[in-house]
Structure 1
Amino acid sequence: MPRTTGQDSRWLPVSAGAALLIYALLWLGYVRQWSWLAGLDAAALDPAHEYGVAHPGWVTAWDVFCTVLGPTAFRLAVAVVVIVLLVRRQPRVAVFLVLTVELSAVVTELAKLLVNRPRPETALVGAYASSFPSGHAVGTVVSVLALLAVFMPKAGATLRLWGGMLGTVLILAIGVGRVLLNVHHPSDVVAGWALGYAYFVACLLVLPPWPLRAAGGAHSTPGNEP
């Protein structure tokens, strides 16, 4: 992820606002029981459930994948990174990672409490808390974007490209996995992606991990960089 300039960063609030709008519409769609949204959810869940029942190994593989590369694993790994950053006297970056990755769990739980949507009755594995939004979707989006924001600015163009592609694949795979396991409706996952992105952008604008450039191209006062 390249360093954000004052001019380029103008699109960030707009994109975050669009993500929040998507989140709100999906929430409204669940509350109002929009038939087309329920139909799309069922169209994805029903065949996934039938296949999973007939192939328990498939279910186990996806469950392990979503656990090993899920938000909890990211938060544990980032906790170690935060300690290393504090030892290296880079508190700004450490605080950014705590604000984004670690505190996204609080944002997720609050959102779940507000909506309180039941899990799909056809869930193939156990899962705690309510269904909307997907905590895996929120946590993975925030974790991937935050880590890219911290570690990619000093990387070469090729590494940034591969890092972005790998992060995108992981975000999509975790979201798809939660639907395949029938622990989330597809609308839960999309809502999680939207909320996670909006939360990440808010954190990035409030406390960027690197010094932003002014619109004219000059750097602001240097802070602690990764």
Structure 2
Amino acid sequence: MTYRRPAAIPVAMSVVAALVLVAGLWTGWVHHWAGIDRPDARALDAAYRMADAHGWWVPLWDGLSTIVGPGVWRVLVVVPIVLEIRRHQVRTACFLAVSIWGSGLVSTVVKHLADRDRPVTQLVSASGTSFPSGHALGVLVAVGTLLVVYSHLIRRSWRAVIVILGVLLVIAIGVARVALNVHHPSDVLAGWALGYAWLMLCLCLSGVLYRGLYRGRYTGSTR
């Protein structure tokens, strides 16, 4: 079987750019760069004031973080993994498993290495360290993975709508973590960037792309 490979240079450049962003954000908070510290502090202060003024603020964002958090996706993905194995699409099942479940390991390792404290003003209890946001990373990878594998099953007229809803969900999760003061904005940006890099790495290593990933239809040379 053969497949259409992604454009290697643009993908590699985008992954490098994402990792450079993570490194820059990491370096910025370690050395207390004003360009990192000030936006972080202002966003957290604004969210804290909103929570103090509105009783619905914390339940809204905490509920969103819980209902569509990465832990939920890592449980739900068991269903498509089993279905793909039953369809003898082992490569697709492996892609789903490694990308979505592996994102948790990536988050844990980087959090341990960075060891950034969570904001002292956190509005809900959150364990672990702060950088990067595991919610931002995990949800981006989960949504991105499922869209890569299954978006072609959606009618063309609805495909753009589903993609936009997926993007909005990823953004909303990131906003929620800052709104709850459990993450700095720089943690969320790092989570998105690292999640994108991980997803692209899994996609390239899987050796399959888009429709070929699901249907087993490939184009190109066997060489």
Asked if Structure 1 and Structure 2 have the same fold, meaning a TM-score greater than 0.5 normalized by the shorter chain, the answer is yes
CA distance in 2, matches of 1:65, 1:205: 31
Instruction: Write out aligned runs for 1:128-207 (5 A).
Output: 128-207=127-206
- Point out where structure 1 has 5 or more consecutive residues left out of the alignment: 222-226
Confirm or deny that 1:60 pairs with 2:55. no
CA contact (8 A) 1:96 1:209 kept: no
CA contact (8 A) 1:116 1:131 kept: yes
Who is 1:111 aligned against? 110
- Point out where structure 2 has 5 or more consecutive residues left out of the alignment: none
CA distance in 2, matches of 1:191, 1:85: 31
Instruction: Give the Å deviation of 1:5.
Output: 4.4
* 1:146-180 residue CA offsets vs partner (Å, 9 max, x unmatched): 00110013444323211210111001000001100
CA distance in 1, matches of 2:101, 2:158: 25
**Aligned with 1:125: secondary structure?**
coil
The change in CA–CA distance for 1:53 and 1:208 in structure 2 (over 3 A counts) is farther
Who is 2:101 aligned against? 102
* 1:53-95 residue CA offsets vs partner (Å, 9 max, x unmatched): 2323220111011110110111111012212221222111110
CA distance in 1, matches of 2:208, 2:219: 17
CA contact (8 A) 2:115 2:130 kept: yes
CA distance in 1, matches of 2:170, 2:6: 28
Moved more, 155-164 or 14-23: 155-164
Who is 2:31 aligned against? 32
TM-score, normalising length: structure 1: 0.89
The change in CA–CA distance for 1:208 and 1:69 in structure 2 (over 3 A counts) is farther
* 1:83-129 residue CA offsets vs partner (Å, 9 max, x unmatched): 22212221111100111001110000000000000000000001111
CA contact (8 A) 2:130 2:182 kept: yes
User: How many residues are aligned here?
Assistant: 214
Confirm or deny that 1:91 pairs with 2:117. no
CA contact (8 A) 2:4 2:208 kept: no
**Aligned with 1:93: secondary structure?**
helix
CA distance in 2, matches of 1:112, 1:76: 22
Who is 1:224 aligned against? none
